[in-house]
Amino acid sequence: MKDIKVLMWIAALILISGCKEAERGQTPIDNIPPANVSDIVVTNLEGGATLSYTIPDDEDLLYVKAIYRLDDGTMMEQKASAYASELLVEGLGRSRQQTVQIVTGDRSKNESSPLEVIIHPLDAPIYTIARQLIVKEDFGGIRIDWENPLEAQIAIVVTKPDERNNMVDAETFYTHARIGKANVRGYESVEQTFGVHVRDRWGNRTDTLIATYIPIFEQRLDKSKFQRWNPSGIPYIQLDNNWTIDKLWNNSLNDPGFSWPLTAVIPGSFTLDLGQTAKLGRFKLYQRTSQAQLYTGGNVKKFKLYGSSHPGVSADIDSWIFLGDYSSYKPSGLPLGETSPEDLAYAGVAGEDYFIELDEMPEVRYLRFLIESTWGGSRAMQIMEVDFYGEIK
């Protein structure tokens, strides 16, 4: 027992000694500042610049630092290690010439005198995005489409006038998707004023595009009237375990939804009766998210939609009215098996919007989905819920 206590005391002394040595190693060993970098090359970028350089021959060198000012006056610092040969300046807004100070620091807490470098960055990505924004009237509100080729982290901000006619935020869409779309819903089909601007994480923002729109009138179809229906030549199939077609309209995103068995054939069709006649404008499909199924497995990737006002149709596609050809959209653009919170919010929570964009909207009651592919290549097609919107007749 005595030997054990002695060993514990020795271990404690070694630990204390090591800590003291570590502390001594962090204290300044000289007061000589390092030399600055040399051979600086500036590459101007959207909203910033890359500074390439040669690091000084200083064994004590710890970092290279850039000091600059954002458009709103905030001072920023960006650091790179002593082993890096370039440094990124980012967060700038409008294109203009400005000065960046370069400073080197060493392990003795000395810093060099600042070296001034002139950069002239291009406009930040938000300004290009804003110039290419497409805003148009949509069902119950407006639709916004944009391109973000650099996949910058941005916010699309929609504003509305308040009772004092001041524009206030109504909805904000955060995204870094290369190609994006957003829908603002819930407004009456009367003249409405909307504003849209783009913002980034450094506080840069574009001017607000303000315009007047008349949202397209729409109603959500009563799902209590939906029912299973199959015309001649299109048999009904389902997975076991209660994954039946009526789960498409039970107002639940939980398992089970509607699914085909693994023996199903793709391309393949399923049909349903809306129980009411309507001019459809859009619809939503909700993906299965449980069991890591989002954007994989049997979740639908490509499909066509057909309709009919009467039940006298068959497997012959020419007996149906073509309503649209659709591809599921993945906001993150990540490869199969990888998803983002934005993907979940879009396809699993809000439901993926699809639009029926025909010059003449036909009146339909009976629908046919022609499934052409699934995200994971599975033949066990699955959909958790559907919603249809339009003008009920």
Can you give the pLDDT at residue 31? 87
pLDDT at 273 over 50: yes
CA torsion, ordered 20, 21, 23, 29, to nearest 10 deg:
140
Q: What is the chain's length?
A: 393
Average pLDDT over residues 243-249: 98
Token pair 């000589």 is found at 32
**% of the chain surpassing 70 pLDDT:** 93
Can you give the pLDDT at residue 19? 45
Where does the pLDDT of residue 223 fall: very low under 50, low under 70, confident under 90, or very high at 90 and above?
A: very high
Give just the sign of the alpha carbon dihedral 30, 31, 32, 36. positive
What distance in Å separates the CA atoms of residue 271 and residue 273, rounded to the nearest whole number?
7
pLDDT digits (tens, 9 = 90+) for 286-315: 999 999 999 999 999 999 999 999 999 999
**To 5 degrees, how large is the angle CA 258–CA 264–CA 265?**
125
CA atoms within 13 A on the CB side of 262: 2
Average pLDDT over residues 381-388: 98
Higher-pLDDT residue of 142 and 18 is: 142
Instruction: Evaluate if pTM is beyond 0.75.
Output: no
CB neighbours of 233 closer than 8 A, spacing ≥ 6?
314, 315, 316
Can you give the pLDDT at residue 23? 37
pLDDT at 101 over 60: yes
Where does the pLDDT of residue 28 fall: very low under 50, low under 70, confident under 90, or very high at 90 and above?
A: low
Where does the pLDDT of residue 318 fall: very low under 50, low under 70, confident under 90, or very high at 90 and above?
A: very high
Strand order in the sheet with 167-175: 167-175, 154-161, 192-200, 209-213
**To 5 degrees, how large is the angle CA 35–CA 26–CA 86?**
40
Note the Cα 215 to chain centre separation in Å.
25
Tokens at 320, concatenated: 């149906």
The one-letter code for the residue type at 337 is: G
Per the DSSP assignment, residues forming a β-bridge with 119 are 98
What distance in Å separates the CA atoms of residue 114 and residue 67, rounded to the nearest whole number?
9
Tokens at 341, concatenated: 């919170």
Q: What are phi and psi of 223, to 5 degrees?
A: -75, -15
What distance in Å separates the CA atoms of residue 309 and residue 289, rounded to the nearest whole number?
33
Closest CA to 236 of 315, 307, 323, 319: 315
The span from the first CA to the last CA of the chain, in angstroms, equals 92
Average pLDDT over residues 330-352: 94
pLDDT at 232 over 80: yes
What distance in Å separates the CA atoms of residue 200 and residue 379, rounded to the nearest whole number?
42
pLDDT digits (tens, 9 = 90+) for 145-187: 999 999 999 999 999 999 999 999 999 999 998 998 888 988 9
Tokens at 311, concatenated: 């039940």
Where does the pLDDT of residue 80 fall: very low under 50, low under 70, confident under 90, or very high at 90 and above?
A: very high
Highest mean pLDDT among 89-93, 176-180, 352-356: 89-93
pLDDT at 261 over 60: yes
**To 5 degrees, how large is the angle CA 94–CA 95–CA 97?**
120
Where does the pLDDT of residue 27 fall: very low under 50, low under 70, confident under 90, or very high at 90 and above?
A: low
CB neighbours of 63 closer than 8 A, spacing ≥ 6?
79, 80, 81, 82, 104, 105
Average pLDDT over residues 21-45: 77
Q: What are phi and psi of 315, to 5 degrees?
A: -70, -20
Can you give the pLDDT at residue 20? 41
Q: Which domains does the chain have, with CATH numbers?
A: 38-119 (2.60.40.10), 125-213 (2.60.40.10), 219-392 (2.60.120.260)
DSSP-H helix ranges across the chain: 2-26, 125-131, 341-343
Contact, 168 vs 159, CB < 8 A?
Answer: yes
What distance in Å separates the CA atoms of residue 245 and residue 385, rounded to the nearest whole number?
10
Per the DSSP assignment, residues forming a β-bridge with 389 are 220, 282
Identify the DSSP state of 346: I
Average pLDDT over residues 51-58: 95
